[in-house]
Structure 1
């Protein structure tokens, strides 16, 4: 039963103007597989309310790098990066008053996103079956390691779990040395699919008046990133293995050394190969009958004897900048940049791919949204919420909880 029967008040205006203005998202997620999803929704104008336990908040609030501001406690830049544009409240869902307050929120929201282990929300009495009784239009997005169904669904999982179980770990790295992808690709991929699935379900709810459960598994997400490994296995029986910097069926296409580092050289098509031969002052090689087609250049013996030494000779005496200038728009050649070089790249800045996030009195530079809409002006700055920062605005303002009740909830530890 609702703890108050007053009509809903107004939420603070969404910090971003965008196509999702008016959509209210209740965000129960923590770490990255979930917060990144809801951040993407907030980037497009949704009002995202991040809900954290007052006694056990999102523990990435302690993850480095820490941001220092004079006279203020250190705050996490990692947290700020994945929680921009969100409102922040505290709520203890293990207490009956907390669950009742959450149901009030659900009745007025459009989306709930959670990334607990399957069954956790049901044990709290807040699973999808219960919430759709309160709000039939609700979209309930659940992100987990192995999904809501299947024999592994109850297993705990991290990003490495997904990379291992989804096959990506086994085929990444160098031959004989499987290596995890050097970022949390399982968390990030699951978040991207969760955002897409949530929007698809929202669209259907708009048409039909009925919401649904969006079930996202990290293992599933990683499996879809394995390129041709699945179809190749079922077609030829071949099990994908690490190839290092090589490609399974096109050459030359990989990492090559140059004077001051490495570049990606990918002039493998006949058109691009001809352009490369001309750029490196050996146009006659494009018509050399031993290496004049993609198929011929891919053959291992010819590639190792003729093509690889040729490309290595072109590149090794030039710098990354010289090679990029030489290639220009003619054929694919890109410097392999470190992060310092990436954030200093004029193209990255022209694409507005860096933004500032305020977190308390501190500020962090983070990556911006990769979604560019022609009718929407991206924000130039943003903020991430302090723990419970928006309790009054959400509970007293939006849910119309009176001051006596609000103070009692705080005293009982339901809120902070």
Structure 2
């Protein structure tokens, strides 16, 4: 994809941002901070004041009062002259006329348009799943993507008879939710189709550690099982697998993946390949339309390949990049991907991407503190640090600055990890 930069910049243009989560909200405020004087409109189908999403499966679920954590106070939008149109959905983009159409029939013109449409939960077509209802006819199967989802899940848990929860999918959302359910006294079962949890995103080392962690906390974790049907027996729902095994549930959490919200971009004939394709300043194949966040795919100068990231870090960094571009500021340096996950008393911090590694080194600093270092030859690709912020920080420095890692120091746990001892030009 060629870099297509706008030939002119103006600070008094009309910008419309579709999507008011981390990416969209950060872009709006960054634009104001960088001196954008024109109108900024944020549109989102979620009626809730824009909120932090990572806490949904953790603090929000475990809190006694189910409250969202706003990204910004409502007054901040007013003070920065940002127009919020919440609970509204954009149905079409006319890229020739620079006009969008909303579900109420209204139309908005734009000089610049930004798609921050993110992802939606993928709900597989499992027979019987849509019939998983309580006595009042309310659905008893849920995803964990929105604040409304978290509220409904918490209500289902509080109203359940035996607090039996079955989670379909052993990804990060499923595992974080499992740890929260355990903290709330639930009887939790996790069913994963692959032979190992997180098999697509991490090594056996981390997968085995997290598997044992959840088993030790009382979670019934079953791998290599394919859910084929949801049966119903009295007030109970039965999650049935292809091997004939079945697991009772008061309600079901589905965490098997996401569906990219790229339909608007597709209908507007923007370039799409495993996400909306963007250049180094997040510009799409149309010069007046940008895209940021989970819905995008971009070429990583660090890893020299096209990647798509689902992370707050990527959403925030891409928002900054677009703000820099639209206010004619210098482009930002390539960002190193990072992620985190909280499960029980363990914090997992990940920097970089492990795909393509041919060697890994495990360094155990204590029974509750270790790190996994992924290499391709001498290049450090990724570090996964468990309760080990020092390993995470050093890994970030090594990848960002392309520094050499002394593997012998890494393997020798009697030698303290420092930038001087571990890293070199």
Whether TM exceeds 0.5 here: the answer is no
Q: Which has the higher helix share?
A: 1
TM-score, normalised by the number of residues in structure 1: 0.31
With a CA cutoff of 8 Å and minimum separation of 6, indicate the structure with the bigger relative contact order: 1
Q: What's the TM-score, normalizing by structure 2?
A: 0.30
